[in-house]
A and B are shown apart, each in its own frame.
Chain A
Amino acid sequence: MRKPYWREISSTWYLSSWPYRWFMVREMTSVFIGAYLVLLVMWLFRLAAGAQSFEQMLVAMRSPLSVVFHAIVLAAALYHSITWFNLTPKVMPVRIGEERLPDPLVAIGMGYLPWVVLSALVVWGVLR
């Protein structure tokens, strides 16, 4: 006789191992990045509404809560970017003849290097 047994999957399955937990953290970073995008849109509206409106926003953004929020968003964005760059070589493997370029090389070439270069350009533009 047969009676296959089904093991149930817990609704907190993602807590059962570190790889799953970090996976959830990675996915959650998108929430914070999304929240920050909303903030950026608000900035735009404020900018369009004039200097005074903009100034008010600036003052509000100096509050402790805002600083904490921005710190979290920065951490999330950093983690998001780093995991993204590290996974890029899997999504777009680069082959030369019979060999495949090592993943770290591709991650640097397609991710870290442009990131550093662009960031340097932004910093230079801001500080000029």
Chain B
Amino acid sequence: MLHPAYGVWGGDGAGRAAHDDLSPSLSLNSFGRGAGTGYIAAPVADVIKHDVVILGGGGAGLRAAIAVAELNPKLSVAIVSKVYPMRSHTVSAEGGAGAVIKGNDSFDAHASDTIRGSDWMADQDAVELFVKDAPKQLIQLEHWGCPWNREPDGHIAVRPFGGMKIERTWFAADKTGFHLLHTLFQTSLKYEQIKRYDEWFATKLIVEDGRCTGLTAIEMRTGLLRCLAAKAVILCTGGAGRIFPFTTNGAIKTGDGMSLAYRAGVALKDLEFVQYHPTGLPGNGILITEAARGEGGILINKHGRRYLQDYNLGKPLDVHDPKHPQKNTMELGPRDKLSQCFVHEREKGNTIEGRYGDVVHLDVRHLGEKKINKKIPFVRELCKNYVGIDPVHELIPVRPVVHYMMGGIHTTLDGATSLAGLYAAGECACVSINGANRLGSNSLAEILVFGARAGASAARYAAEGATPKNSAAIETQFADEQQRIAREYISKEGGTHRVADLRLQMNHAMENGAGIYRNESSLRQTGQTLAHLQESFRDVRLEDRSLCFNTELIAVLELGCMLDIAEALAHCALARTESRGSHQRTDFPKRDDMQFLKHSLAYHRRDGTPRVDYLDVVITRWPPGERVYGDT
């Protein structure tokens, strides 16, 4: 029998032979488990120190890390992520990233589209900053190798996208997020000072004297709780779409970072604003990019009618008209409105019954095979694989699915939170540039702009700021967290509820009560269910008590995070008695600028229910107006 040689494949690089015991030399019972007298953890003295610790290895996290390394090469940077960076959910973004680059465009136009799209909830100073920085960030990505689509003369190509009067969406076929993420990940490899802790799941932020000085994380492959101490921490952990049952989001979008900040006393802003993407595949919720409509795809109901024309979204042009698709009208309207139209069509009985509920159809047949293969090849692949249809010849069944959370950790324009030393960027943060509804292709630009800004400000803070004084405090909190994980999870016997059951109940409560259309009683009902689930959560059953790669434990911890976010969301939605953007109340159908031109802030309380407060929206040059689409 041949034996494979060791060395390069060795898990820890030391190239040990098979069957070597790689556990640290601590006493373990014969099964190496944590059950019994005590959860075995890494020695407390083993605190890892870095200048900047970034939690999350997606677009925002990688961009922040590179920003730190570029600004101040002497700083040591850590990227801690519960998955390898190339698995981060940025990878599944498809359509493109928006930035002003063409002669017919202007910063004011991009800002105005964004602010209008946000239903005037976006902070206009943040938007003005964002639109000016976005082109620079995207050009920097281009320099780093991102394979943007080009015009024949070699310049960047752009395509139309929803809610934008002028086309400005840069794209890389229909896998923009994939290319962006891999470009960032591969570029990050050239910086020796960036150290990665892959498959480490963060459980708590360390806070002392009103300052965030690190975090504790489970090293998944050993199961041990570890501690990283830092002068600055940046949270880039993404959104929490998985609190809903139908979502484009992958398994990992469970709001971990949001929850960590929330529990540390930082406010979560605008949580009630959840974006439903109008075109997800029924059943699994897989995203069919807006680019399909940007290239000319149309939405039709049971009767073959382009139903959007019935909802003040403009007049449909013939699909072969050279001016189709007309920007800012019909299928290129904003996502919140398109998703709401679906609900109305369903009420009228105009939707098509499918195996997984009602759908409408996305028709791209008129684009032709050549254009589909060139501009939206991934859409074709996904349809063939997961629905068994070829969009070149057949209609794609689609329905609105949860896609993005406009809300998140409340930050300044520089990504700083109210907790000194703690920063946040990306979907987990809320600056806010997206307000009550995000325009497609603004998110990929956002993670770069604010990832870089948060990285830069964290780098400055780490360079200027003093080293945390009280290392004993870190060690105490580390030890306490070890005990807590052991006590509440690993060593705890019994338990009644399976993780999946609780999660499903949460999903149903959210979809039924806090979906596209909400009202007071549905939200109260949801709030009650969630409170009940928080109770049940204390009695969750953990079948897997092992240490090495205990994915069930991670699922339990993620559920805990999701319940926090869900509860805060429901309460904020209940408190906002108006309709704006993606938050639609059937009992308060009008927008109320007098009372609610404000962001909601949710603060964690001991008893679980959040305290809701408000913060004025920053208005500079665009006074609130009517959100009109349908005429360019």
Contacts and interface: CB of A to CB of B under 8 A. Distances in A.
Q: Do chains A and B touch in the complex (CB under 8 A)?
A: yes
Interface of A: 1-6, 8-11, 13
A2 B2 CA distance: 24
A45 B22 CA distance: 64
A125 to B, nearest CB: 48
B222 interface: yes
A9 B20 CA distance: 19
B18 A5 contact: yes
Q: A1, A3, A4 — which one has the most chain B CB atoms within 10 A of its CB?
A: A1
Nearest to B24: A1
B548 A8 contact: no
A6 B20 CA distance: 10
A73 B72 CA distance: 66
Contact of A8 (B2, B23, B547): B2
Nearest to B223: A1
Contact of B32 (A1, A5, A6, A13): A1
B547 A1 contact: yes
Interface string B194-235: 000000000000000000000000000111000000000000
A1 B4 contact: no
22 contacts: A1-B23, A1-B28, A1-B223, A1-B548, A2-B548, A3-B20, A3-B21, A3-B23, A4-B11, A4-B22, A5-B18, A6-B3, A6-B4, A6-B18, A8-B1, A8-B2, A8-B4, A9-B1, A10-B2, A11-B1, A11-B2, A13-B2
Contact of B2 (A1, A4, A5, A9): A9
A2 B1 contact: no
Nearest to B10: A4
A1 B22 CA distance: 7
A6 to B, nearest CB: 4
Contact of B222 (A1, A5, A8): A1
B19 interface: yes
Nearest to A8: B1
Interface residues of B, number: 18
Contacts of A9: 1-4
Contacts of A6: 3-4, 18-19
B499 to A, nearest CB: 24
Contacts of A5: 18-19
Contacts of A1: 21-23, 28, 32, 222-223, 547-548
A5 B4 CA distance: 12
Nearest to A7: B4
A4 B222 contact: no
A13 to B, nearest CB: 8
B18 A4 contact: yes
A68 to B, nearest CB: 34
A10 B22 contact: no
A2 B222 contact: yes
Contacts of A13: 2
A98 to B, nearest CB: 9
A9 B4 CA distance: 7
Interface string B303-346: 00000000000000000000000000000000000000000000
A35 to B, nearest CB: 28
Q: A3, A8, A10, A11 — which one has the most chain B CB atoms within 10 A of its CB?
A: A3
B30 to A, nearest CB: 11
A10 B221 CA distance: 28
Closest 9 CB pairs of A and B: A1-B23, A6-B18, A2-B22, A1-B32, A9-B2, A11-B2, A4-B11, A8-B1, A2-B222
Contacts of B2: 8-11, 13
A11 B22 CA distance: 28
Interface string B279-296: 000000000000000000
A102 B258 CA distance: 50
Interface in B245-271: none
B31 to A, nearest CB: 9
Q: A2, A3, A6 — which one has the most chain B CB atoms within 10 A of its CB?
A: A2
Contacts of B32: 1
Contacts of B547: 1
B21 A8 contact: no
A13 B1 CA distance: 10
Nearest to B222: A2
A5 B11 CA distance: 11
B221 A2 contact: yes
A14 to B, nearest CB: 12
A36 to B, nearest CB: 31
A111 B626 CA distance: 68
A63 to B, nearest CB: 40
A10 B1 CA distance: 5
Contacts of B222: 1-2
Given A1-B223, A2-B22, A8-B2, 14 more contacts: A1-B21, A1-B23, A1-B547, A1-B548, A2-B11, A3-B19, A3-B20, A3-B21, A4-B18, A6-B3, A9-B1, A9-B3, A11-B1, A13-B2
Interface in B20-50: 20-23, 28, 32
B535 to A, nearest CB: 34
A10 B548 CA distance: 28
Q: A4, A6, A8 — which one has the most chain B CB atoms within 10 A of its CB?
A: A4
Contacts of B221: 2
Contacts of B19: 3, 5-6
